[in-house]
Amino acid sequence: LKQVKRGSKIWVPHPEQVWETATVQRDYHKGDITIQIVKDSGTSVELSTKPDGSNLPPLRNPAILIGQNDLTAMSYLHEPAVLHNLKVRFCERQIIYTYCGIILVAINPYAELPLYGPSIIRAYRGRSMGELEPHIFALAEEAYTKLEREKCDLSIIVSGESGAGKTVSAKYAMRYFAAVGGSESETQVERKVLASSPIMEAFGNAKTT
């Protein structure tokens, strides 16, 4: 509660942009039932708050933390912070991949990008996650290394809405495995896995009554 004070940057709902930034105009104290803010658009607003402060608006991260390649590095990890960080990376920096711990978040650019050639595969070979920029190859390398070292079964779960790019992500992961494995059999596995993807997606999208 002490962090919500005059000059603090916060997030407030927006009817079109989902969230927008606002600035707190006076210190908030526990027990207050309103908070004075000015939105970035210039509009002054008085927000209602609960006396215990349980519904205070989420705080915005410092500017130095915006655009992080790992969401867990941010001071405040909530919906507006995540969405804004992904927006900055994708719209302003043209970066489609972002880590969230061991999870890789990918935004479908709906365009071919020069990110998956042999030179990129070589760059990620033998590197740990976090050494280079987030990439599907970094995730695949992590899995491949553990398979070699620990000799145990592993799974990479590719999840997302229809059209999010799940099949393409699986394709690039399999391409990496085929390249570092260097065997024709792995290429055949890649083809079989990708061929089964539409069937598996159909089952996943099916609804029963």
- Would you list which residues are annotated within the binding site for ATP? 160-167
Residue with tokens 């790992």: 70
Angle at alpha carbon of residue 173, lines to 93 and 178, rounded to 5° = 135
By three-state DSSP, how is residue 177 classified?
A: helix
| Counts of helices then strands in the chain (DSSP H, E) | 5, 6
Angle at alpha carbon of residue 87, lines to 85 and 93, rounded to 5° = 95
- Which of 114, 126, 129, 130 is closest to 172 using CA atoms? 114
- Please answer whether residues 92 and 107 qualify as being in contact, where contact means their C-beta atoms are separated by less than 8 angstroms: no
Binding site as annotated, residues: 160-167
- Please answer whether residues 65 and 38 qualify as being in contact, where contact means their C-beta atoms are separated by less than 8 angstroms: no
| Cβ atoms within 10 Å, residue 35 | 22
DSSP state of 70: B
146 φ/ψ angles, rounded to the nearest 5 degrees: -65, -35
